[in-house]
Structure 1
Amino acid sequence: MKWESLSGEQKSEVERQLAVIRRGVVEIVPEDDLKNKIANAVATGKPLNVKLGLDPSAPDIHIGHTVVLHKLRQFQELGHQVQLIIGDFTGRIGDPTGKSETRKQLTEEDVKRNAETYQKQIYKILDPQQTKLYYNSEWLAPLNFADVVNLAGKVTVARMMERDDFTKRYTSGLPISIHEFFYPLMQGYDSIALDSDVELGGTDQTFNLLMGRTLQKEYNKPGQIVITTPLIEGLDGVNKMSKSLGNYIGIDEEPNQIYGKSMSIPDRLMLKYYELATDLSNEELAALKAGLADGSVHPRDAKMQLAATFVRMYHGEEAAKAAENHFITVFQQRALPDDIEEVSIAAEQLEDGQIRIVKLLTLLDLLPTSSEARRSVQQGAVRLNEEKITDINADISPKDGDVLQVGKRKFIKIKLT
């Protein structure tokens, strides 16, 4: 549908949709084609197919992962259809992007377990009624060797070596397995199988996303639009949000954890989190920016609103209010919370009534590993009855009612059994 043939009302709708889609994105390739696709959708009432591929190798979703999911939700609110692809076939290879070595292939059982976890979490953001879920084994597994050779013949080795990670590994003498070249080919083939109009991904996925556009044209199909979203820094304000670095906010974490972690977001990144990872409208975001700029909104209040927004999005309004009250009680008024969880420990787990602090922290599930427990103690993040413990070799004599605390957000009350 040509732009010139649209009515004035239809043109306004196209511009409105473009304004929403442009929010917080790094690049749209090419934007003119996106405008034409939206114009056709507005004129015909046929929604665009907007694709996102998920490699189910790390299923616990954090705020960094939600940046692209919120962009998908915006497309849904504009009336378009999301094609969500669980890469159960590509996941057996693993995306080599940014890796300095060949990744270990996942088993079929690993992929299935991780994919199930993803599905439970993504619908906290996406509308399931406007989401079509696929497993790419549906079309990749049936390909025969002749099909694979034909697909591989569409792209040169030189094109593959344009990827920085492949080039660095090659020049450094590190191995590159042939099957790793097939990852972008298979991701691109997903777009062929589903006739995707748009594909989204982080900036680290640009090569893979453009491969879909290239292959669609090779198969005489309209090339998809590629939209890249930024990678968001974690709570340290420096590195990309990552569970392995511990600088993340998980969407399945407890409300008090989400709220407390959000309050440690660096001030300079606060608006970026609002723009990329919340459901605030463009108008609400503009008003917030103006308020911070003219001083009518205090940064502390804006951050508390951000923390409450995250909790509300993933746990509901009531949980958000409770988490805010908890934060005010514990951190602003510096009092212990009233609703501390009670955790039991059996007397036989103690030696002469004592236990090493590191072992106690892991035994009570306050920290997942001994190394993290030692690090927390050394950093002064552990308190027993509000007294700081800094010796990793300290022996504790726990009593009924003792309050053990890690950081500013984790509290448990000990019960001896």
Structure 2
Amino acid sequence: MKDVSHEDIVARALSVTPGAPPAACYAGFDVTADSLHVGHLLTLHVLRKLSERNVLPVLVLGGATTAVGDPTGRTQSRPVLSEDDIAANMEAIQAQLLRLMKGCKPVVLDNAEWVTPLTLMELITGIGRQVSMSSLLASQAVKTRLDSDGMTLTEFLYPIIQGFDFMTLAERMHRMDCPAFLQVGGSDQWGNMLAGTELIRKMRPDLEGFCAAFTHPLLLTKDGRKMGKTAGGATVWLDREKTSDLDFYQFWRNLNDCDARAMADMFLDEMPAHHINEPNSTACDINALKTRLALRMTTWVRGEEAAILSRELAENRTGSAGPAFDVVRAQLVDDFPALVVDLDLAATRSEVRRLMAQNGITLDGQPATTEVRRAARGTVTLSRGKKRHQRLCIHE
């Protein structure tokens, strides 16, 4: 946990004995696309772990909040989706969530159920009077938007709607004799979560000792960027129609060493991986860790058969590439033609440039453009065509 509003309530939720009414924990998922992406996986992993402690997972799809548009982490408004698009996205994401949470018996709800009937007067006089403008203006998401493209009133109301979600669900769970009710999300959602705890404190003080919010760290790369992009900048989706099984596996397998250790500490049920940073550790240690991570994540999201096949395809792709060749990033980015010649993958620099213009030189299967080379991390495979390969270990 990163931020916690009420540690005693979280402790109570985690100490419910088997056979007693379970505590519950909810997370929200706006349906802005027809698939979740890897950035959602840590929230789901936390919910799976909580279910092992007799905490009921409650998954709230944002049928209403998707139409509002969460401004968090955005410099511009999100595209407006039609009702049909939202409905189609919701159907697809619900199927994903049920598959990823298999065995945890989650409850899936749509917040349009209680937000849509809310009248304007109820919002203004009932909820609006309880919300401080100063707290909304202090939100980092609001500050960022006001300093860039500005924001609409609709987006400004987003934290209030999310807070109303929390209060409405808390009322329901309290009537079900739940001993405690939690909300979890990434640390960038902390401001929105506090809007909910504050709304409960003012409108339902009888539930204040029943509810708590907590966050987990965001999945970030070592340089602070949100994790979830391939070397070429494409989003890594959970849907295999949008990101292939092999590309999904390779995303985890090709993480740089630092990011792989961090992800292993979060997702692998074993001893912390940071000991693989000691002077006597070897490249085999970290590569084995990356393989375990890639297998675990691909098995969870795509299934065991897809994970095993992806590993075989990845190993066949790099099997003839030999040992990794150490290169510094500046050489990969700024002096790439010379590097390819030095590796005996081409005879001259002009030949390299000609091959690159034909997409004949690739990094991990992607055309070796400047953007791809700049984004590459850890160990990658440099290929000329389909038969000549060289593994590279990139150093800053």
Contact 2:13 2:55 in 1 (8 A): no
- Of the three residues 241, 247, 258, the one matched with 2:248 is 258
What residue is the counterpart of 1:240 in the other structure?
226
Q: Distance in 1 between matches of 2:108 and 2:156?
A: 25
Q: Is residue 271 of structure 1 aligned with residue 271 of structure 2?
A: no
Contact 1:201 1:229 in 2 (8 A): yes
**Match runs of 1:105-184 below 5 Å:** 105-127=80-102, 130-149=105-124, 150-170=126-146, 172=147, 174-184=149-159
Deviation at 1:38, TM superposition (A): 3.4
User: Which protein, 1 or 2, shows the higher relative CO under an 8 Å CA cutoff with sep ≥ 6?
Assistant: 2
Distance change in 2, residues 1:128/1:140 (3 Å): farther
Deviation digits for residues 217-244 of structure 1 (CA, Å, limit 9, x no counterpart): 222242321111111125x855212459
Q: Distance in 2 between matches of 1:216 and 1:273?
A: 34
Distance change in 2, residues 1:230/1:393 (3 Å): closer
Q: Read off the aligned partner of 2:168 and give its amino acid letter.
A: A
* Other structure's SS at 2:4 match: strand
* Other structure's SS at 1:53 match: strand
Q: Distance in 2 between matches of 1:33 and 1:52?
A: 17
Distance change in 2, residues 1:391/1:107 (3 Å): farther
Q: Read off the aligned partner of 1:222 and give its amino acid letter.
A: L
What residue is the counterpart of 2:198 in the other structure?
214
Deviation digits for residues 79-106 of structure 1 (CA, Å, limit 9, x no counterpart): 2211111111111110011323444432
Q: Distance in 2 between matches of 1:309 and 1:48?
A: 28
* Other structure's SS at 1:299 match: helix
What residue is the counterpart of 1:201 in the other structure?
185
TM norm structure 2: 0.72
Q: Read off the aligned partner of 2:141 and give its amino acid letter.
A: D
**Match runs of 1:26-65 below 5 Å:** 26-39=2-15, 41-42=16-17, 45-65=20-40
Deviation at 1:210, TM superposition (A): 1.1
The gaps in structure 1 that reach 5 residues or longer are: 1-24, 336-378, 381-385, 397-403
Distance change in 2, residues 1:91/1:117 (3 Å): same
* Other structure's SS at 1:98 match: coil
Distance change in 2, residues 1:44/1:188 (3 Å): farther
What residue is the counterpart of 2:312 in the other structure?
325
Q: Read off the aligned partner of 2:198 and give its amino acid letter.
A: T
**Match runs of 1:76-115 below 5 Å:** 76-115=51-90
Q: How many residues align?
A: 329
The gaps in structure 2 that reach 5 residues or longer are: 174-180, 323-335, 338-344, 367-382, 387-396
Distance change in 2, residues 1:392/1:112 (3 Å): farther
Contact 1:80 1:130 in 2 (8 A): no
Deviation at 1:392, TM superposition (A): 9.1
Contact 1:241 1:247 in 2 (8 A): no
What residue is the counterpart of 1:230 in the other structure?
217
Contact 2:26 2:58 in 1 (8 A): yes
Q: Read off the aligned partner of 1:255 and give its amino acid letter.
A: D
Distance change in 2, residues 1:167/1:326 (3 Å): closer
Deviation at 1:300, TM superposition (A): 1.5
Identity %: 23
Contact 1:292 1:298 in 2 (8 A): no
Deviation at 1:391, TM superposition (A): 4.7
Deviation digits for residues 167-189 of structure 1 (CA, Å, limit 9, x no counterpart): 3444x485332222221111111
Q: Distance in 2 between matches of 1:233 and 1:144?
A: 39
Q: Distance in 2 between matches of 1:256 and 1:394?
A: 25
* Other structure's SS at 2:26 match: strand
* Other structure's SS at 1:82 match: strand
Contact 1:312 1:320 in 2 (8 A): yes
Contact 1:237 1:265 in 2 (8 A): no
Q: Distance in 2 between matches of 1:44 and 1:219?
A: 32
Q: Distance in 1 between matches of 2:263 and 2:108?
A: 27
Distance change in 2, residues 1:173/1:242 (3 Å): closer
Please identify the structure whose Cα radius of gyration is greater.
1
Distance change in 2, residues 1:255/1:165 (3 Å): closer
Q: Is residue 189 of structure 1 aligned with residue 189 of structure 2?
A: no
What residue is the counterpart of 2:48 in the other structure?
73
Distance change in 2, residues 1:409/1:121 (3 Å): farther
Contact 2:48 2:104 in 1 (8 A): no
Q: Distance in 1 between matches of 2:361 and 2:148?
A: 48
Deviation digits for residues 369-412 of structure 1 (CA, Å, limit 9, x no counterpart): xxxxxxxxxx89xxxxx98874599689xxxxxxx885424799
Q: Read off the aligned partner of 2:237 and give its amino acid letter.
A: G
Distance change in 2, residues 1:285/1:92 (3 Å): same
Contact 1:93 1:103 in 2 (8 A): no
Deviation at 1:264, TM superposition (A): 1.6
Q: Distance in 1 between matches of 2:2 and 2:281?
A: 29
Q: Read off the aligned partner of 1:55 and give its amino acid letter.
A: D
Contact 1:94 1:106 in 2 (8 A): no
- Of the three residues 285, 288, 292, the one matched with 1:301 is 288
